[in-house]
Amino acid sequence: MATRSVRANGQISWQAQEFFISNSLAGWSVGLKLTAQELIEVWFDRLLLGWIDPSTASFLRADIVPSTP
């Protein structure tokens, strides 16, 4: 698992891209873990915060579950 420090503006960098995670985590580190679906899990200790989708350069929060039709 890779780690990144969350900057004061709430962002981390991953593979030359910037992703907003949360201002609340400024100064803390988050863990990044690649999944089989080509997403990157973002962890704070044992709490899954969400996923980075490199194909769309976006962060998907874990507390927002997409609705299925």
Number of domains in the chain: 1
Predicted local distance difference test score (pLDDT) of residue 64: 82
Task: Please list the ranges in the chain whose pLDDT falls under 70.
Answer: 65-69
**Domain boundaries, position 48:** 2-61
- pTM for the model stands at 0.86
CA distances from 33 to 18, 23, 47 (A): 16, 21, 13
CA distances from 66 to 20, 50, 54, 55, 63 (A): 19, 12, 18, 17, 10
Q: Judging by DSSP bridges, how do beta strands 58-61 and 29-34 pair with one another?
A: unpaired
Residues 23 and 31: their CA atoms lie apart, in Å, by 16
Predicted local distance difference test score (pLDDT) of residue 68: 47
Mean pLDDT score across all residues of the chain = 91
Q: Which two tokens stand for residue 46?
A: 């044992």
Task: Classify residue 68: in a domain, yes or no.
Answer: no
Predicted local distance difference test score (pLDDT) of residue 47: 95
Task: Classify residue 69: in a domain, yes or no.
Answer: no
